[in-house]
Structure 1
Amino acid sequence: MQTHVFEHRGYEIAVHPERNAYGAWQATVSVRHADSRVAEFRPETIQPEWLTQEEAVRDGIEWGMRFVDRKLDESHDLM
């Protein structure tokens, strides 16, 4: 499947949708900054399996954006 790449607050969020053994869609999310991986995860959601690829991509983007926002907010609090 195609990997979808988005930028949010200077971070690159890559979402790779794929079908699980039951035919439902899930996404793996990778967050990068300055050519180094910050995190890679499979979001654990209330609805972890989606009926369409588009839903899985949207969910992955939302998780990636929240991850970046929390990371930047935490680093701001330390200053």
Structure 2
Amino acid sequence: MQTHVFEHRGYEIEVQPEQNAYGAWRATVTVRHADSPVAEFRLETIQPEWLTQEEAVRDGIEWGTRFVDRKLEESRDLM
């Protein structure tokens, strides 16, 4: 399957769609900070199974951007 890579607020979001044995689609999402390869978060989305690859990719992108936004808000609140 094709890996989709997106940039969001200085983070790289990589979405890998996968089809399970029943034909449903899910996405694995990896989030990395662009400046630091040490700060890598490997996250597997926990969502419904999607009927199409495009839906799984869209969900993975949305999940990844929400994760980055929350992480940046938390770090701002600590300042």
Q: Report the equivalent of 1:43.
A: 45
3-state SS of 2:23 partner: coil
Shift of 1:40: 1.2
Q: Report the equivalent of 1:4.
A: 4
Correspondence 1:75 to 2:66? no
Q: Percent identity?
A: 74
Given that residues 30 and 37 in structure 1 are in contact (C-alpha distance below 8 angstroms), is that contact kept between their aligned partners in structure 2?
Answer: no
Shift of 1:39: 1.1
Given that residues 43 and 63 in structure 1 are in contact (C-alpha distance below 8 angstroms), is that contact kept between their aligned partners in structure 2?
Answer: yes
Residue correspondences, number:
77
Moved over 3 A (4+): none
- Which sections of structure 2, spanning at least 5 residues, go unmatched? none
With the length of structure 1 as denominator, give the TM-score of the two structures.
Answer: 0.91
Give, in whole Å, the separation in 1 of the partners of 2:52 and 2:23: 10
- Which sections of structure 1, spanning at least 5 residues, go unmatched? none
